[in-house]
Amino acid sequence: MNVSNQSNLFLIRLSFLVRFLLTAIFIISAIGKLLDSHFTIQIIAQLFKLPLVISQIMVVLLIVLELIIAVIFWKKQIPKIFITVPFLLLMATLFSYWNDLNCGCFGSLPFLSQMSLGAHVLLLAGMFLGIMFLINSTKPEQESVKGSEHQQFYQTAKLINFTGYLALAMMLSAVFTLPFSAQDNNAHNSPTDYQMVDRFFVEKAISIDNMIIIDARPEFQYAMGHIPKSLNIPYNTAYLDSMLQRFALTKKLLILYCSDSRCNTADILAKRLQDSGCKKIAIYAGGWKDWSRY
C-alpha cells in the first residue's frame, strides 16, 4: 500500500468518526427537545418574547432541521453553508446564558441539560472544526486524481487529519466534562446547606398545609410517577417567578426532591428558590427512588 492510499484510508476512518459524532449530537439534541418539548417551548418563548404558538412551531422546525442536518452529514460533499451552524448555535447559547436561562439545546436530558457554558463553547468549537474537516476531506483525493506531487499530497492530508483529530478531541472533551459540570452547578450549595429530611417526614408533610413537596425533575419524569400531592417545578423552569406568586412559596416550608441521592437537580432548584426569597427549604435526598420502593 503506497503513502497516498494509506493516507486516504486514515482519512476515511477519521471522516466516519467525525460524521458519527456530529450526527449523534444533532440526533440527541432533537430527542431532548422532543421528550420535553414543553420546557423548550417555554424557553424559546421567553428568550425571544414570542407567543407560545409561534414558539411551538419553532421547536417543531428545529427538531426537523436537526434531523435533516444529521442525514446530510453522511453525504460525500458537505455544503459550505454548514460552517455557519455552530456560530448560530453559539449565538443562541450566549444569548440564553446572558438572560440567565438554560438554552434548551438538549431539553431536559440528564447531564446534557446541565452542560456548562464552557462545555457548550468547547462542543461548538469542536463541531465547527469537524464540519471544516468534512468539507476539506476530499482535497487529498482530488490532488491524488490530479497527480499532485507526493510532498504536497502528504502535507495536505496531514493538515486535514490534524483538524479532524482536534475536532474529535474537543467534542469528546465537552462530553467528558458533563459529570463535573453537574457538580459545578451544585457546588455553591451542597446538600448539607439545607435541612435534610427522610421518608417519614415527607409522609407527614403531605397532609400539612404550610408545607409543599416539590418535584424538581423534568415534566416527563414527573408524569411517569411522583410523590402524592407534590408540585412539579423543574429545576430549569423558565417561569419560577410566576410559580412563587401562585403558590406563595416564600411563606411555606419547601421539601424538594429529585430522582435519588446522586441527582443534584433538587439542589440546583433549592439555590434558585433561595435566591428568590424562600427561607425554609428542605431536601429529601432519597428522592423518587427511595419513595417508590414502598
Strand 231-232 and strand 253-257: the pairing is unpaired
| Residue 70 grid coordinates | 444529521
| CATH 3.40.250.10 for the 186-291 domain, yes or no | yes
Contact (Cβ atoms closer than 8 angstroms) between residue 136 and residue 82: no
Question: What pLDDT is stored for residue 81 in this prediction?
Answer: 92
Phi-psi region of 172 (alpha: psi -120 to 50; beta: other; left: phi over 0): alpha
Is the pLDDT reported for residue 293 higher than 90?
no
Question: What pLDDT is stored for residue 49 in this prediction?
Answer: 78
Contact (Cβ atoms closer than 8 angstroms) between residue 256 and residue 286: no
Residue type, 16: F
Is the pLDDT reported for residue 103 higher than 80?
no
Is the pLDDT reported for residue 191 higher than 50?
no
Question: What pLDDT is stored for residue 207 in this prediction?
Answer: 87
In this predicted structure, which of 234-238, 240-244, 271-275 has the lowest mean pLDDT?
234-238
Contact (Cβ atoms closer than 8 angstroms) between residue 157 and residue 148: no
The model's pLDDT over 121-164, given as tens digits with 9 standing for 90+, comes to 899 999 999 999 998 886 655 555 455 555 555 666 677 888 98
User: Can you give the residue ranges of every domain in the chain?
Assistant: 3-182, 186-291
Q: Which residue is listed with cell 447531564?
A: 111
Query: Distance from CA of residue 72 to its chain's centroid?
Result: 22
